[in-house]
Amino acid sequence: MAHLFRDLSLGQSKRGTSPPTITLTKSPMLADDLPSPLGQLASKLTDSDLRLTAYEIFVAACRTSSGKPLTNIPNSSSNHSDSPTQHSANSPNSPALQRSLTSTAASKVKKAFGLKSPGSGCSGQGKAKRPLTVGELMRNQMRVSEAMDSRVRRALLRISAGQVGRRIESVVVPLELLQQLKLSDFADSQEHEEWQKRTLKVLEAGLLLHPYMPLDKSNSAAQRLRQIIHGALDRPMETGRNNESMQLLRSAVGSLASRSYDGSIDSCHWADGMPFNLRLYEMLLQSCFDANDESSIIEEFDELMEQIKKTWGILGLNQTLHNLCFTWVLFHQFVATGQMDLDLLSAADGLLAEVAKDAKTTKDTEYSKILSSTLSSILGWAEKRLLAYHETFDRENVETMQGIVSLGVAAAKILVEDISNEYRRRRRNEVNVARERIDTYIRSSLRTAFAQIMEKADSSRRASKNQPNALPGLAILAKDVGSLAVNEKQVFSPILKRWHPLSAGVAVATLHACYGNELKQFISGITELTPDAVQVLRAADKLEKDLVQIAVEDSVESDDGGKAIIREMPPYEAEAAIANLVKTWIKTRLDRLKEWVDRNLQQEIWSPQANQEGYAPSAVEVLRILNETLDAFFQLPIPMHPALLPELMNGLDRCLQYYVSKAKSGCGLRNTFLPTMPALTRCTIGSKFQGFGKKKEKSPNIQKRNSQVATNGDSTFGVPQLCARINTLQWIRGEFEVVEKRIITLLRNSESANEEDFSNGLSKKFELSPAACVEGIQQLCESVAYRIVFHDLNHVLWDGLYVGDPSSSRIEPFLQELERNLMVISDTIHERVRTRIITDIMRASFDGFLLVLLAGGPSRTFSRQDSQVIEDDFKSLKDLFWANGDGLPSELIDKFSTTVRSILPLFRTDTESLIERFRRATLETYGSSAKSRLPLPPTSGQWNPSEPNTLLRVLCYRNDESATKFLKKTYNLPKKL
């Protein structure tokens, strides 16, 4: 067996030359939490009793070489004072016990163990030294007193003399010792009595309680022996050769010891029944450890083991059982001595490889039971530590863990592969015992470790809850889990990878699941974005990235590239959770902003005098809140500002669009202020002034066209107020670029922004609200223009211009009023909108001028001579907007006056030519079907000198008999409404 220990570096005992002091206290080797799996004895034999019995067997077995009868041994009659040394020296046929442990033997062991210790097999003091014999060494190791050793040797000498020709295996040693040793051999009667009781208990254990062959309850010899032993335990028995009690004892023992399965008459079975024999052998094997240093194998191990094996014949053992027993003893010694000597563990692991070979070939059911019990005990002890290896091991003792894992996995493989019936029923390639066990250890230990750091994180959170910037519990936990994962990867995974190639991946997948369960509960309880929530989610996101990275690195060389492990790690989606919370935060802010817009617009008076620039204070507040919202957004401790900014921008854009829509709401459109055109009539010839002196026909109430449009009675919808609205929208337009540049700055300072996030400015611009402002300004400018012309100046335009005699009701009053309004607007409106609104007023004036000419109702008639008046008035109207070059550009005036200028020549055209042009235009429009009867062309409002309705209207207002007759004949138009 020496080869199994060649790697032991713990060193052998460095015993002194004198025998150690004998102490009979309980051996520290007997670990309280590690009962022997070799079987519990039904007898009340103590460890000391078993040790002495084992020593007696050892001495008996070693007094002769294996296979030789006990012959030529003198029957010594020396007295008690004879030393064992003297007896040994005088016994030429006991070479084993007398053999000295020379330096040659020591060097053999030294070579086997790789030791660096001086030869220690010597005894004596000073210069007078002699080598220890094997017998002396064993006595020291077994803690047997010199007096007891002397008695045993003398008794065996007497037994040998009386049993000439018999093998020691055929002798019931305790029975013969019982007869040979008398009261006179002991110091006092009490010592003799205790020894006798112990010897009888040994016979009881070997023949009655744990016999080689099962006993029949009716066996008379067993009944007699039981009675004798129980009687002797109460009262010492006489053991003389001719004593009746002794004769009965010898008869009963002989009958029971001679029973065998093969019927052999030469066999003797008194110490070879399980588990009695194994417990005795366990005591012998423990003698291989130095009595002064129980974690050390003695230097004389080879010599001693050679002699110990001679007991196999008496104990009924073989190499297979020896391997199993010694594996257990080595393992037990490692545990009992504080788990410090890894060489013991390594030796047990090496011997377990021999046990694995035995297990595959041995069919003995009794052996299988002991094997299963022993391996289960080893595995149970190992798993108690490995299922929570983070509590047991660290960087300092990681080598110990490696040895325990190796031993535990080896035991598990034998249990599953060679003992388990279930394994045999399954295909072996479906079961990887080592990998499954390691997988279990990793997951179990990390779950336990996770629970512990979770408790630690909770304690840390409670301790720091009143401190500023204290981290929330799950954020602390994420950090600790990350540290645990790194420690696992660095310390434990390299060891476990020997049995499980994805050990680190399994570890981080387990931690991922543990933390994920806590995170899931946390997320389900979040209702709003808080600093704590963001900290936890960001910590979770970082942890997940770190764990996945470890799993990926660990799986590089795996067959599936780590896909199976990654599938075990469903994403936390912490970023998605943060994004959802931010979206909720954005929606809440936008809802509040919209509510504010509604509330403040209801209170807004749209006064141009509110500030120097003439825009509304509510707009300033809108932009202020918008900027505050942007600041708050970029102050959120989130990692995805660029990703979520578009959603915020869209929301703010819609809010501004909403403000713009509310600002222009109710202000009217262009068509809102246009009067309803009166029905067509024909002129009353010669009665140009028939309308004077009568009540003038008013145009239909403009407000009836749209009840939604406010009148002058509403102070928020007057021209100044409309100008304030226009100024407000123009001011907002100017702020877009400022806000967008500010967003780029905020984005640039964001921790998570990339260059492309802020270099692409297009993605950070407002889209809806700028267009809404342009549209709103256009609508409001038109509304102001047409309100002034058709509402505020209605009395001078519609009710005054060209009513009756055109030459006496010309355009001057309208121009004066219009000029006054233009001055007010020029002083009120934003300079960048001034040209636009004056242009709209000019266009509205031109439209009003044409409407008077073409739809002014029966109170207006024009002769050809009036055309010059009309043309002069229109020139005056254009001059007002040109303002001697200080007004609108002439090109702009010409552009918008094109329609009027194209129609005015019709008023100087003769009636016949007009009628002919009307006929041709109608035929061109309606085709040949219009030849028999000219249809009445509808009013399109798109005036054009070649359009039938425009030509018809010039004829309707022509103060000419030919025109009147044509209109009466063709359409039967009336002279009045």
Assign residue 16 a region (left: φ > 0; alpha: ψ between -120 and 50; beta: otherwise).
beta
CA 886 from chain centre, in angstroms, equals 74
Which pLDDT band, with edges at 50, 70 and 90, does 590 fall under? very high
CA dist., res. 890 & res. 878, Å (int): 9
Whether the per-residue pLDDT at 868 is higher than 80: the answer is yes
The pLDDT of residue 756: 64
* 905/837 same-domain check: yes
**Residue % of the chain over a pLDDT of 70:** 83
Bond prior to 468 in cis (omega within 30° of 0): no
Whether 491 is covered by a domain: the verdict is: yes
Q: What pLDDT band is residue 714 in, cutting at 50, 70 and 90?
A: low
Tell me what the mean pLDDT of segment 64-69 comes to. 44
pLDDT at residue 975, rounded to an integer: 86
pLDDT at 690: 42
Cα–Cα dist 347/331, whole Å:
8
Residue 494 to residue 396: CA distance in whole angstroms: 15
CA atoms within 13 A on the CB side of 351: 25
Helix (H, G, I), strand (E, B) or coil at 130: strand
Domain harbouring 733, CATH code: 1.10.357
Res. 699: pLDDT tops 50 = no
Task: Share the mean pLDDT of the chain.
Answer: 83
Tokens of 5: 């220990």
Nearest Cα residue to 619 out of 460, 476, 728, 707: 728
pLDDT at 17 over 70: no
Structural domains in the chain (count): 4
Q: pLDDT class for 764, splitting at 50, 70, 90? A: low
| Domain's final residue, options 226, 257, 288 | 257
State yes or no: pLDDT of 698 exceeds 60. no
Query: Which residue range is the domain that position 653 belongs to?
Result: 578-673+710-774
DSSP character string of 937-960: PPP-S---TTSHHHHHHHHHTB--
> Does residue 86 surpass a pLDDT of 70?
no
In this prediction, residues 55-76 reach a mean pLDDT of 60
Same domain, yes or no, for 769 and 666?
yes
Could you give the 3-state DSSP secondary structure of residue 276? helix
Q: Using CA atoms, how far apart are residues 332 and 234, in angstroms rounded to an integer?
A: 37
For 255-312, the pLDDT digits (tens) are 999 998 887 767 799 999 999 999 999 999 999 988 788 888 888 889 999 999 999 9
Confidence band, pLDDT 50/70/90 cuts, at residue 33: low
In this model, does residue 569 exceed pLDDT 60? yes
Q: Quick one: 509 and 594 in the same domain?
A: no
Judged against a pLDDT cut of 60, whether residue 707 lies above it is answered with: no
Do both 619 and 530 map to the same domain? no
- Structure confidence at residue 99 as a pLDDT band (50, 70, 90): low
430 band by pLDDT with thresholds 50, 70 and 90: low
Average pLDDT estimate for 890-902: 96
Q: What is the pLDDT of residues 674-695, one digit of tens each?
A: 888 888 998 876 554 444 333 4
Q: Does position 103 have pLDDT exceeding 60, yes or no?
A: no
Degrees to nearest 5, angle at CA 770 with 769 and 771: 90
pLDDT interval class at 233 (50, 70, 90): confident
Residues 954 and 873 occupy one common structural domain: yes
Q: Name the residue with higher pLDDT: 161 or 957.
A: 957
Based on the fold, state whether residues 143 and 166 are members of the same structural domain: yes
Q: How confident is the model at residue 902 (pLDDT cuts 50, 70, 90)?
A: very high
Residue 358 is assigned to a structural domain of this protein = no
**CA-based diameter of the chain, in Å?**
184
Copy the structure tokens of residue 298.
């003695």
8 A C-beta contact, residue 173 and residue 60: yes
Q: Which of 313, 309, 300 is nearest to 134 (CA)?
A: 300
pLDDT value, residue 527:
85
Q: What is the pLDDT of residues 456-512, one digit of tens each?
A: 888 877 776 666 666 788 999 999 999 999 999 999 999 999 999 999 999 999 999
513 and 624 inside one domain = no
Tell me whether residue 612 is exposed, middle or buried, using C-beta atoms within 10 angstroms of its C-beta: 0 to 12, 13 to 18, 19 or more: exposed
Give a yes or no: residue 661 inside a domain.
yes
Question: What are φ and ψ of residue 131, in 5° steps?
Answer: -65, 145
Give the domain-ending residue among 240, 257, 274: 257
Residue identified by tokens 């994004």 is 579
639 part of a folded domain: yes
Residue 582's alpha-carbon distances to 647, 648, 752, in angstroms, are: 10, 9, 15
Q: According to the model, what pLDDT value does residue 30 have?
A: 42
Percent of residues, the chain, with pLDDT higher than 90: 56
pLDDT category at 79 given cuts 50, 70, 90 is very low
Long-range contacts at 484-491 (CB < 8 A, ≥ 24 apart): 484/390, 484/446, 484/449, 484/450, 484/453, 484/511, 485/511, 485/546, 485/547, 485/550, 486/546, 486/550, 488/446, 489/550, 489/554, 491/394, 491/395, 491/398
Asked whether residue 690 is domain-assigned, the answer is no
Q: Is 60 part of any domain?
A: yes
Vertex 415: Cα angle to 412 and 417 (nearest 5): 95
Q: Are residues 603 and 743 in the same domain?
A: yes
Closest CA to 918 of 929, 908, 906, 928: 906
Q: Are residues 873 and 820 both part of a single domain? A: yes
pLDDT at 23: 32
Residue 763 has pLDDT above 80, yes or no: no
Does the structure show a pLDDT above 90 at 546? Answer: yes
Q: Position 61: which residue type?
A: A
Determine the Cα–Cα distance for residues 899 and 940; give it in Å rounded to an integer: 14
**CATH code for position 947:** 1.20.58.1970
Size (the chain), residues: 977
Whether residue 170 is predicted with pLDDT greater than 90 in this model: the reply is no
Q: Does one domain contain both 526 and 610?
A: no
Q: What distance in Å separates the CA atoms of residue 415 and residue 356, rounded to the nearest whole number? A: 9
pLDDT at residue number 89: 35
Higher pLDDT, 6 or 550: 550
504, 497 Cβ separation under 8 angstroms = yes
Confidence of residue 323 (pLDDT cuts 50, 70, 90): very high
Domain end marker among 257, 292, 325: 257
- Radius of gyration of the chain, Cα coordinates, nearest whole angstrom: 59
Domain membership of residue 564 (yes or no) is: yes
As beta bridge partners, residue 131 has 122
| Phi (first) and psi of residue 168, to 5 degrees | -65, -30
Residue 98 banded pLDDT, cuts 50, 70, 90: low
Minimal CA–CA distance to 405: which of 438, 374, 443, 439? 438
What is the predicted pLDDT for the residue at 620?
Answer: 93
Burial of 570 (0-12, 13-18, 19+ CB in 10 A): exposed
Under a CB-based contact definition with an 8 Å cutoff, are residues 408 and 355 in contact?
Answer: no
Q: Report pLDDT for 471.
A: 75
Within this chain, do residues 649 and 668 fall inside the same structural domain, yes or no? yes
Per-residue CA distances from 717 to 33, 707, 713, 826 (Å)? 95, 14, 8, 18
Q: Determine, yes or no, domain membership for 168.
A: yes
Q: Where are the alpha helices (DSSP H) in 883-936?
A: 890-896, 898-903, 911-926
Q: Taking 80 as the threshold, does the pLDDT of residue 614 lie above it?
A: yes
Label residue 329 by pLDDT band (50, 70, 90): very high
Do you find a cis peptide bond into 275, omega within 30 degrees of 0? yes
- Three-state secondary structure call for residue 133: strand
Most confidently modeled of 63-67, 107-111, 783-787? 783-787
221 band by pLDDT with thresholds 50, 70 and 90: very high
**Helix (DSSP H) and strand (DSSP E) numbers for the chain:** 40, 2
| CB of 722 closer than 8 Å to CB of 784 | yes
Q: CA 814, CA 877: separation in Å to the nearest integer? A: 9
Angle, helices 173-180/47-62, rounded to nearest 10 degrees: 90
Handedness of CA 720, 725, 729, 731 (dihedral sign): positive
- Residue 325 · residue 281 · CB < 8 Å: yes
**Do 937 and 853 fall into the same domain?**
yes
Check residue 927 and give its pLDDT.
80
Exposure string of 638-658, with b = 16+ CB inside 10 Å and e = fewer, is bbbbbebbeebbebbbbbbbb
| Helix (H/G/I), strand (E/B), else coil: 124 | strand
Task: Give the pLDDT mean for 962-966.
Answer: 93
The identity of residue 535, as a single letter, is Q
Helix (H, G, I), strand (E, B) or coil at 646: helix
Find tokens 């040949």 and name the residue.
928
- Cβ atoms 123, 130 nearer than 8 A: yes
Q: Let me know if 813 is exposed, middle or buried by CB neighbors in 10 A (0-12, 13-18, 19+).
A: middle
